[in-house]
Amino acid sequence: MNELFCQSCGMPLKNEEVMGTNKDGSKNKDYCIYCYKDGNFTQDVTMDEMIDISLNHMKELFKDDPSFKEQEALDNMKSFFPKLKRWA
């Protein structure tokens, strides 16, 4: 099975707990709980704003990891995000 990623922020959707929800409460396999809830996006943002938000989360998540490279992460997101369903 291919790994699923949120089609808005790129977060891995490893299990149903992190999947967003549709209007009827069912799980949405395209988006995470942070980006999509009750059938709507949780934030009205541009792709570049989402990249900034995601980069800030990554910096916090990997703050103690000396191998984390902020510019590399930013470059990767700038090439990956345009392929995501929300931004395509």
Query: pLDDT in tens for each of the 88 residues of the chain?
Result: 468 999 999 999 999 999 999 999 999 999 999 999 999 999 999 999 999 999 999 999 999 999 999 999 999 999 999 999 999 9
Q: Return the closest-CA partner of residue 76 out of 59, 57, 49, 51.
A: 51
The pLDDT value recorded for residue 56 is 96
pLDDT at 28: 97
Phi/psi at 38 (nearest 5 deg)?
Answer: 55, 35
How does strand 36-37 pair with strand 27-32?
unpaired
CA atoms within 13 A on the CB side of 45: 16
